[in-house]
Amino acid sequence: MYIRITGFFPEPDEDDSLQYKQVIQKDLEPSVLEIMGWSSLEDGLGGESELTAEQAKLIAGVLGESAIEGLTLFIGSHS
């Protein structure tokens, strides 16, 4: 299993194609789980959750990236 973040232009933009995709490295998963309030990867199964601006900012920090702006971001666990 792994954690994936995806990003799309916010509605009502007609372009609903994937604009951002990031698979979280295994060594960073515990930090991301904590930010999301998940105790395990299983907590993220069953669809994707929209990230709040604060969650997105914190996860960007864990990834060592600048905050992603202009996209609606989602996170979920996948097998």
CB atoms within 10 A of CB 59: 24
- Give 9-34 pLDDT, tens digit per residue: 999 999 999 999 999 999 999 999 99
Supply 24's token pair. 């979280």
Name the residue among 20, 2, 28, 22 with its Cα closest to residue 72: 20
Residue 58 near residue 68, CB atoms below 8 Å: no
Looking at domain 2-78, its CATH architecture is: Roll (3.10)
Where do the domains of the chain lie? 2-78
- Give 35-70 pLDDT, tens digit per residue: 999 999 999 988 899 999 999 999 999 999 998 999
DSSP label of 1 = -
First-residue to last-residue Cα distance in the chain: 4
